Amino acid sequence: MTAPVRRILVVEDEKAIRDAVGAYLEKEGFWVTPAADGQSALDEFGRHKFDAVVLDLNLPKLSGEEVCARIRDISDVPIMMLTAKGEVEDRIEGLELGADDYLVKPFSPRELVARVRALLRRAHVTEEPQREKLVYGPLEIDVAGHRAYRDGEEIDLTASEYKLLLTLARYPGRVYSRMELVEKVLGYDFEGYERTIDSHVKNLRAKLGDDPRHPTFIYTVHGVGYRFEASRSDSGQ
């Protein structure tokens, strides 16, 4: 398969990391534009069309949070946050600002490349509105029909459980905070939201036959929320 060259904006003030990330991505065939601070990141973003952004959280001039929010105002480009802090609060904040994924430093460049590829795949999937079915191994979601099937048998889901499943399964690998899931599944100002999401997840897992200790589909991300993983049979680029 011959793919067009993908252009990645790499925003990182630490030169050693910026160079290393850029070198790895270039070795993998990406076109890399480096930026050393938040303002030049936005300048570059206005100048070119990027397929993804790798964005450090702690930046001079404009913070990574600010850059992320400003990019989100104008674009749906996939954003990978880099955080040195590793604090749960910061990760949640990054995701709530609209980052699609995050990596905690120190990370291996191989992992970064793999995650960027995953982001690009997910972004590509959403560009195909005609794709109305999501199939992950034995699980099939009929998006147009608002139904889900396991091994061909319809799973009897409530409206909230279906929304939850679809939200998670649309972007395999993406971590959703409970707060995000509350917004997407239940709507705003819902009291006791965390436990509500947890109990929806519990019910959904039971209906999917998913063991929380050895999940096939829905994984708990400790201290943050949940993510969906595509079953292993759904491999390939």
192 phi, psi to nearest 5 deg: 65, 35
> Which among 151, 152, 134 has a CA at the least distance from the CA of 143?
134
CB of 14 to Ca ion, least distance (A): 5
Edge to edge, what strands does the sheet with 7-11 contain? 31-35, 7-11, 52-56, 79-83, 101-104
Instruction: Fill in the amino acid letter for 7.
Output: R
Of residues 55 and 204, the one with the C-beta less far from Ca ion? 55
Q: What are phi and psi of 146, to 5 degrees?
A: 55, 45
Least Å distance, CB 139 to Ca ion, is 39
Residue nearest to Ca ion (CB): 58
Q: Are strands 52-56 and 79-83 parallel, antiparallel or unpaired?
A: parallel
What's the longest Cα–Cα distance across the chain?
55
Number of residues that bind Ca ion (CB under 5 A): 3
Question: Is residue 58 within the footprint of Ca ion (CB under 5 A)?
Answer: yes
Q: Which region, judged by CB under 5 A, interacts with Ca ion, from 58-66, 95-103, 176-184, 209-217?
A: 58-66
Range in contact with Ca ion (rule: CB under 5 A) among 11-19, 87-95, 112-120, 211-219: 11-19
Tokens, residue 21: 């990330």
Q: What is the DSSP string of 109-137?
A: HHHHHHHHHHHHHHHHHHT-TT--EEEET
- C-alpha to C-alpha distance for 179 and 198, rounded to whole angstroms: 11
Site for Ca ion in 127-186 (CB under 5 A): none
Q: Which is nearer to Ca ion, 82 or 204 (CB)?
A: 82
Q: Which is nearer to Ca ion, 90 or 180 (CB)?
A: 90
Residue 56 within binding range of Ca ion, rule CB under 5 A? yes
Q: Residue 23 or 125: which CB sits closer to Ca ion? A: 23
Q: What are phi and psi of 30, to 5 degrees?
A: -85, 155
Q: Is 220 in the site for Ca ion (CB under 5 A)?
A: no
Stretch that binds Ca ion, among 6-14, 101-109, 136-144, 213-221 (CB under 5 A): 6-14
Taking the least distance from each CB to Ca ion, the nearer of 11 and 95 is: 11
Per CB under 5 A, 40 contacts Ca ion = no
The yes or no reply on residue 63 touching Ca ion (CB under 5 A) is no
- Looking at 6, 7, 13, 37, which residue binds Ca ion (CB under 5 A)? 13
Residues forming the site for Ca ion (CB under 5 A) = 13, 56, 58
